[in-house]
């Protein structure tokens, strides 16, 4: 049946509803609301969904089918996924829909695995991703651009993005025979603003492409004001809430803006996010299954956020906070979800399945097991190049600019990760002198090529004494730790500003930007001499190799005893590590990143190299280390 629908989907003309001949009867494919009976209708029949969130961009493409199959085996009949604008349009004139960004293939696999789809194209998605999934270059077009509003300077880029999305997903709408039953308008907008002109414009843009072939919906927290500001006429209103809340009262708040139709919790939280310098967040299984049972007992539909969390590979993790506070998120997005970061079922998975089995028929599928993991031992790492030295600048500097005032990452055209700001120090009669620099987000301070300390936004630490009264040169290495993804601090420019020495501004800056996306050029470079311990002379790139016999397995890179940086395996960026503050110590290494035979590990280490210069690949994760 599925293969027949796929073939028909590609050949039929678009109409309001697709008529399919089944056993000499005509079946109307579509998804709609039966308001009179407070239920959904799937292809004309009463229906409710039990869904789980799984973001395709947080997992290697090779694991999409396996993870979806595990979700189906738990009794879920739908999957919810965001579409990340910044992934697909990293620069204004650049689009990427291939590899791990192949949304069309994800939708194909979902349909083949008998999973319906709740699509959340944004344009803003939050998702604990850098800038909430918005592309960084939006901040460079108009300095005062009003994001997530009907500002025409913002909306013209939104229209281009949504056109690209719907050009690809339109054949997958339920009315065209595909798996997409619902499409979200924006994302939890009531937590941010109350611009109904903006929501109306988004609704109209989406409806023009969707028609009645899928249901437009919104979702907001179970707060009356959030629901009021996120509600849009003609868009189905749903609510979010987690374990331990009053289910009846939460749905009553939804009913204030959606008086009729089925009850829906679009984000039910079986786990939670974690930031650096926090304990790993966990939600008790007993609380999850109790609340889930209450939700399903009311006949409601539900989406669990997250069912499989995955990983913020590369520089994609975001941050929370505001104008004053700032808390970046860890690389892992395990989320204490029913399926772990590596896609392994937990006890929470099986308990949730038991609850679902009370309300929905279970598919005839074998249940998943925990997969074998690789124990590949220790890797000795050799220092290759210092980023501040001429060779380091030659190999890895993306942009070099001079300007009277320090420029932001965005003005330099740098989406991430590091910018080195250099200036001459002015003569001072103070001893010691006090350097002030407003850093976004973390700054290593070098005076006459020697590290004297750090400044950090997380602790609002922007002042440092310079004890050498004869110092002449200043270097500030600024790290973008992730743009804020939620709340009023969304316009989160990176870099440094207000740099003064004893309240006198420093001027005439040289700026060197390092994206550090590709580290393959170091293979032919000789090693350098390096003292172990704190890296007083600047960040260092190190390289090591390890051998795998047989088929590669998932494994975990243990970064304990090292400082702060990012790790690459065979050119794939595993993400940031920062074991000194935790709680995450290991980085997940999926088997598709590995190969039989020789493999390569490359580190970009900013702060500290231990005496043994080793990391190990082990079969168990450490995400909840307590200092």
Catalytic residue numbers, as ranges: 188, 267
Q: Which residues pair with 236 in a beta bridge?
A: 217
Per-residue CA distances from 79 to 72, 120, 449, 624 (Å) = 9, 11, 52, 28
Place of tokens 């035979």: 597
Please answer whether residues 130 and 416 qualify as being in contact, where contact means their C-beta atoms are separated by less than 8 angstroms.
Answer: yes
Place of tokens 């074991």: 579
CA atoms within 13 Å, Cβ hemisphere of 131: 24
280-319: b (≥16 Cβ within 10 Å) or e: bbebebeebbebbbbbbeeebbbbbbbbbbbbbbbbbbbb
CA atoms within 13 Å, Cβ hemisphere of 324: 0
d(CA 477, CA 495): 9
Positive or negative, the Cα torsion across 202, 205, 207, 210?
A: negative
Per-residue CA distances from 289 to 269, 295, 344 (Å) = 11, 10, 19
d(CA 318, CA 330): 9
**Interacting residues of 259 by C-beta distance below 8 A, sequence separation 6+:** none
Q: What is the DSSP letter of 573?
A: E
Please answer whether residues 236 and 258 qualify as being in contact, where contact means their C-beta atoms are separated by less than 8 angstroms.
Answer: yes
Please answer whether residues 496 and 476 qualify as being in contact, where contact means their C-beta atoms are separated by less than 8 angstroms.
Answer: yes
Closest C-alpha among 206, 214, 212, 252 to residue 232: 206
Q: What is the DSSP letter of 224?
A: H
């Amino acid at each position: 049946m599925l293969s027949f629908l796929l073939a028909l989907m590609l050949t039929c003309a678009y109409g309001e509803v697709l008529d399919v001949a089944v056993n000499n009867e005509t079946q109307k494919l579509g998804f709609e609301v039966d308001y009179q009976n407070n239920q959904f209708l799937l292809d004309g029949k009463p229906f409710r969904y039990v869904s789980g969130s799984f973001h395709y961009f947080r997992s290697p493409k090779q694991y999409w089918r396996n993870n979806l199959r595990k979700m189906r085996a738990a009794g879920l009949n739908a999957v919810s996924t965001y579409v990340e604008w910044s992934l697909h349009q990293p620069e204004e004139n650049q689009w990427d829909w291939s590899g791990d960004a192949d949304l069309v293939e994800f939708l194909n696999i979902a349909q083949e695995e008998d999973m319906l789809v709740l699509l959340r194209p944004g344009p803003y998605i939050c998702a604990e991703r850098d800038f909430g999934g918005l592309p960084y270059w939006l901040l460079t077009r108009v300095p005062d651009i009003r994001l997530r509003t009907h500002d025409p300077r913002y909306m013209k880029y939104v229209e281009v993005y949504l056109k690209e999305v719907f050009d690809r997903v339109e054949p997958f709408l339920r009315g065209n025979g595909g798996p997409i039953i619902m499409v979200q308008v924006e994302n939890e907008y009531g937590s941010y603003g109350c611009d109904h002109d903006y929501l109306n414009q988004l609704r109209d843009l989406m409806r023009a492409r969707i028609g009645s072939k899928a249901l437009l919906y919104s979702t907001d927290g179970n707060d009356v004001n959030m629901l009021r500001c996120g509600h849009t006429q003609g868009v189905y209103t749903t609510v979010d809430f987690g374990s331990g809340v009053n289910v009846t009262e939460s749905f009553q708040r939804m009913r204030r803006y959606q008086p009729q139709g089925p009850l829906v919790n679009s984000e039910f939280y079986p786990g939670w996010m974690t930031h650096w310098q926090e304990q790993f967040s966990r939600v008790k299984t007993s609380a999850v299954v109790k609340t889930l049972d209450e939700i399903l007992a009311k006949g409601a539909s539900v989406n669990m956020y997250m069912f499989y969390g995955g990983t913020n590979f590369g520089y994609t993790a975001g941050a929370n906070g505001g104008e004053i506070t700032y808390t970046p998120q860890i690389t892992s997005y395990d989320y204490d979800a029913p399926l772990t970061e590596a896609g392994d079922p937990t006890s929470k998975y099986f308990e949730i399945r038991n609850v679902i089995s009370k309300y929905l028929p279970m598919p005839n599928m074998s249940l998943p097991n925990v997969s074998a993991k690789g124990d590949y031992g220790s890797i000795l790492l050799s220092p290759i190049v210092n980023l501040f030295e001429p060779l380091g600048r030659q190999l890895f500097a993306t942009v070099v600019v001079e300007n009277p005032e320090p420029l932001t990452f965005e003005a330099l055209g740098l989406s991430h990760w590091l910018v080195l700001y250099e200036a001459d120090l002015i003569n001072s009669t103070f001893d010691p002198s006090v350097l002030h620099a407003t850093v976004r987000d973390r700054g290593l301070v070098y005076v006459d090529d020697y590290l004297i300390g750090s400044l950090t936004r997380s602790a609002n630490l922007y002042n440092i004494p310079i004890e050498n009264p004869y110092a002449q040169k200043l270097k500030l290495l600024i790290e973008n730790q992730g743009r804020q993804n939620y709340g009023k601090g969304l316009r989160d420019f990176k870099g440094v500003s207000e740099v003064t020495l004893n309240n006198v501004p420093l001027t005439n800056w040289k700026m060197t930007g390092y994206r550090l996306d590709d580290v393959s050029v170091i293979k032919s470079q000789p090693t350098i001499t390096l003292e172990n311990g704190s890296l007083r002379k600047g960040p260092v790139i190190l390289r090591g190799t390890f051998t795998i016999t047989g088929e590669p397995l998932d494994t975990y890179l243990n970064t304990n005893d090292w400082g702060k940086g990012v790790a690459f395996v065979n050119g794939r960026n595993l993400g940031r590590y920062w074991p000194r503050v935790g709680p995450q110590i290991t980085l997940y290494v999926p088997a598709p990143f590995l190969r039989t035979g020789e493999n390569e590990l490359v580190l970009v280490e900013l702060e500290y190299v231990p005496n043994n210069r080793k990391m190990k690949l082990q079969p168990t994760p450490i995400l909840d280390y307590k200092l």
